[in-house]
Structure 1
Amino acid sequence: MDALSSAQNKLLPEMSELLKKRYQILQAINQEQPVGRRTLSEHSGMTERDIRKETDLLRKQQLIEMKTAGMVITKQGEEVLNSLKSFMHKLTGIADLADCLKQQLGILDVVLVPLDSDKAISVKNQIGKEAARLLEQHFAAQPNVAVTGGSTMAAIAKELKGEKTYPALRFIAARGGLGEDVLHQANTIASAFAGKTGGSFKTLYLPDHLSEEAYTMMMKEPLIREMMDLYEQTDLVVHGIGNAQEMAVRRQSTAEEVEKITEGGAVSEAFGYYFDAEGNVVYRIRSAGIQLEQVQKAPAIIAVAGGRSKAMAILSYFKNAPKHTVLVTDEGAAREILELTENLGGN
């Protein structure tokens, strides 16, 4: 926090808290519009009473409008959000926190959004928006993009602008299906990215989890060999980071596999690899998707994960993750990671 913001915070701490609250509400309306008060309350983690009071003020200031379908942000409201973004990051200490996390993880950069996505859905959407803006900066120079699945990746697809077309872009599904909601599978995400940008996409219509016999057989198939060749040509990888136990359940892992994952002390998962607290691979599934060595060779990598509950998984993965990765996360995860590293003696 700079000297001016620090002095203001000490002299009028209640003003800072009020500013944070109204900024969060305005940001949530911008993300979810048109949106009603009840939905906004759920997405922001505030009471409906607070929402009603603050949105009435925002309306009087002509920052939002009340429409039949719900509240929407005005052009003036958008300008206020953009003007305050840098200041709010300094006021809340987000800029300093991002720098601390970047140094702790030893990676290329950290993009941080305020608050905790575990507590407010709008924060996950904001993570998606920041990741989308970052991703768009790579489109011209790095056209071959491998993408994984998950709800956070779906949030990125939603936030891509789609104002320009990039016919040279090719989005490659980095995983097969997990048996989860089809909207969150890598195939669907790759298709959504392509639809927003005017690019093409390549899908991997295989179960993410294969037996040894099936894996050996499928790796001989021309279509699978083509996908593996595409992974070798990947310019940019965009991926999530999962909690090990949650991913084991999503993959419908066998009791034997769960036992290996648990006994190995796995706390994180990415690309079908399970990592312990020190970042060591303790188990990996047989998959025709992108392999860790192919990820490491990609010139650019964007990892996206948020929420205090993901802190241990993020910390675990980045123990040995590619150092040229950019992480997009939230304040909740960042503060928990730094607390964990402090408790562990900074290791």
Structure 2
Amino acid sequence: MDILKAQLELMPEWKDMLQQRYQILYTIALSKGIGRRTLAETLQLSEREVRKEFDLLRAQGLILVSREGAEVTPPGQQLLVELKSLVDEWSGRHEKETTLKRLLGIEEVHIVAGNSDDSEQAQLLLADEAAKWIFANLKPRMITAVTGGTTIAKIADHLPQSSKIEQLQFVAARGGIGKDVQLQANTIAALFAEKLNGSYKTLYIPDRLSESAYEAMTQEPFVQEMMALYEQMSILVHGIGDATEMARRRSSSSEELKLLKEQQAVSEAFGYYFNARGEVVHRIRTIGVQLEQLEQTPHIVAVAGGAQKAHALDSYFQQAPKQTVLITDEGAADQLIKVHTLQEEF
């Protein structure tokens, strides 16, 4: 029995205490300048508990507290890095990652704490984990394509301001969906480029087109240039949507919504709608990354969380490329494992 196991045998409550303290420190690191009250609300702790932890972490030199709130010091940041594997193992997330990797048949799975459906903290953790993976895997002259959406937009906030990786290029993986410009692929590609001192290419055309408009657009030089870039992309970062929700965001007609219901569409990605078996049951005419281009892309990063997304994730991963990296949260992961367990039983 090693010394750590011996300590836990004697003081089993120490594990819960360490995980809570780690979560507090991590939340401060994600939300620079956070105050005690906001931190207490975010982690659903009492202000008294948070005040006690603040005092302890400050005394250890792990955080600095000012009028603007708390920030993690460099020693605190280093401690977070060193403790991550241990905390993930104790929480059971490491075991769940291994299980999901096997069940989905993909390259990597990363699971963060919480459930994005009802936790802003989980959404921050999801974006931060994705940003860390992307930054760690970027190499000079790489082309990275990004889709739009709330989850992908948050990733840009967590990327470090860096110029150490040369000649990076970021491209919008699709045209615009909805009216919120901040959540569109064009804006997100530009934000990634700004953070990492790269260049970017945008695709300022509607996400969906009529047949005649589609045929005309494919002949345009700038569209052909974008399609050539998709063929060369090394990393593709995308979300996975619920089929009905995505159709409504696109202001789909009542006929199209009826069709998706009849075809039992469950998930959506890249303008393709999939049923529970991962079969394409509908697609829209869109200029952007096409499904067949995924097979030749070295790294595909799918970022999605929340228990309510589990069926959409299960649908999409029926056919997802093996080189996919899934970054999700415990809410979605627990539900996905439950779904697969039930499928195996039957």
Secondary structure in 1 matching 2:137: coil
Superposed CA deviations along residues 160-182 of structure 1, whole A, max 9, x for unmatched, are: 22223434211110011112421
The residue aligned with 1:238 is 237
Name the counterpart of 2:222: 223
Read off the aligned partner of 1:68 and give its amino acid letter. Answer: R
Provide the C-alpha distance between the structure 1 equivalents of 2:277 and 2:118, rounded to a whole number of angstroms: 28
Matched residue, 1:207: 206
**Other-structure match for 2:314:** 315
Shift of 1:29: 0.6
Q: Which amino acid letter does the alignment assign opposite residue 224 of structure 1?
A: V
Distance 1:45-1:105 versus aligned 2 partners, 3 A rule = farther
Specify the code of the residue in structure 2 equivalent to 1:217: A
Amino acid at match of 2:216: M
Q: Indicate if the aligned counterparts of 1:171 and 1:194 stay in contact, CA closer than 8 A.
A: yes
State the one-letter code of the partner of 1:170: Q
CA distance in 2, matches of 1:5, 1:335: 28
Change (3 A) 1:283 1:314: same
- Once the two structures are overlaid, the 10-residue window that deviates more, 114-123 or 277-286, is 114-123
- Is 1:101 aligned to 2:69, yes or no? no
**Pairwise CA distance, 1:11:** 6.0
- Counterpart amino acid of 2:227? M
Is the contact made by 1:215 and 1:286 (CA closer than 8 Å) also made in structure 2? Answer: yes
The equivalent of 2:305 in structure 1 is 306
Is residue 291 from structure 1 mapped to residue 290 from structure 2 by the alignment? yes
Higher alpha-carbon deviation: 60-69 or 4-13: 4-13
Secondary structure at 1:146's aligned position in 2? strand
C-alpha distance in structure 2 between counterparts of 1:151 and 1:6, whole Å: 41
Task: Extract unaligned runs of 5+ from structure 1.
Answer: none
Hey, what does 2:337 align to over in structure 1? 338
Q: Tell me, in whole angstroms, the C-alpha distance in 2 between the residues paired with 1:208 and 1:303.
A: 20
Displacement of 1:132 in angstroms is 1.9
Distance of aligned partners of 1:331 and 1:7 in 2 relative to their CA distance in 1, 3 Å threshold: farther
TM-score (norm 1): 0.91
Count of residue pairs brought into register by the alignment: 346
Q: Aligned partners of 2:204, 2:44: CA distance in 1, in Å?
A: 38
**Secondary structure of 1:345's match?**
helix
Q: What code does the residue aligned with 2:250 have?
A: R
Question: 2:277: which partner in 1?
Answer: 278
The one-character-per-residue Cα deviations of 1:24-78 (angstroms, maximum 9, x if unpaired) are 1111110001112333234334454543443344334433222111111223322
Give the match for residue 18 of structure 2. Answer: 19
**Alpha-carbon spacing, 1:9–1:240, altered in 2? closer, same or farther (3 Å):** farther
1:6–1:91 contact (8 Å) kept in structure 2: no
1:214–1:164 distance in 2 versus 1, CA, 3 Å: same
Question: Normalising by structure 2, what TM-score?
Answer: 0.92
CA distance in 2 between counterparts of 1:47 and 1:207 reads 47
Give the residue type in structure 2 aligned to 1:22: R
Amino acid at match of 1:270: A
Deviates more, 1:244-253 or 1:72-81: 72-81
CA contact (8 A) 2:300 2:325 kept: yes
Q: Determine if contact 2:114/2:121 at 8 Å carries over to the other structure.
A: no
In terms of mean alpha carbon deviation, does 187-196 or 80-89 score higher?
A: 80-89
Question: 1:62 maps to which residue?
Answer: 61
2: CA distance between counterparts of 1:289 and 1:86? 37
CA distance change for structure 1 residues 282 and 257 in 2, over 3 Å: closer, same or farther? same
| Partners of 1:63 and 1:76 within 8 A in 2 | yes
Find the residue that maps to 2:65 and give its secondary structure: strand
Asked whether the 8 Å contact 1:45–1:120 carries over to 2, the reply is no
Matches within 5 A, 1:111-130: 111-130=110-129
* Higher mean C-alpha deviation, range 68-77 or range 87-96: 68-77
Change in 2 beyond 3 A, CA 1:108/1:66: same
Q: Verify the 8 A CA contact 2:140 2:168 in the aligned structure 1.
A: no
Q: 2: distance between equivalents of 1:48 and 1:190?
A: 39
Letter in 2 for 1:85: K
1:62-211 correspondence runs (5 A) = 62-140=61-139, 143-211=142-210
Whether the aligned pair in 2 keeps the contact of 1:31 and 1:122 (CA below 8 Å) is no
Q: Secondary structure at the match of 1:137?
A: helix
Q: What is the aligned partner in structure 2 of residue 248 from structure 1? A: 247
Superposed CA RMSD in Å reads 2.3
When structure 1 is superposed on structure 2, of 132-141 and 180-189 the one drifting more is 132-141
Letter in 2 for 1:103: R
Q: Distance in 2 between matches of 1:247 and 1:99?
A: 30
Distance in 2 between residues matched to 1:268 and 1:48, nearest whole Å: 41
Q: Which deviates further from its counterpart, 57-66 or 247-256? A: 57-66
Distance 1:77 1:312, change over 3 A: same
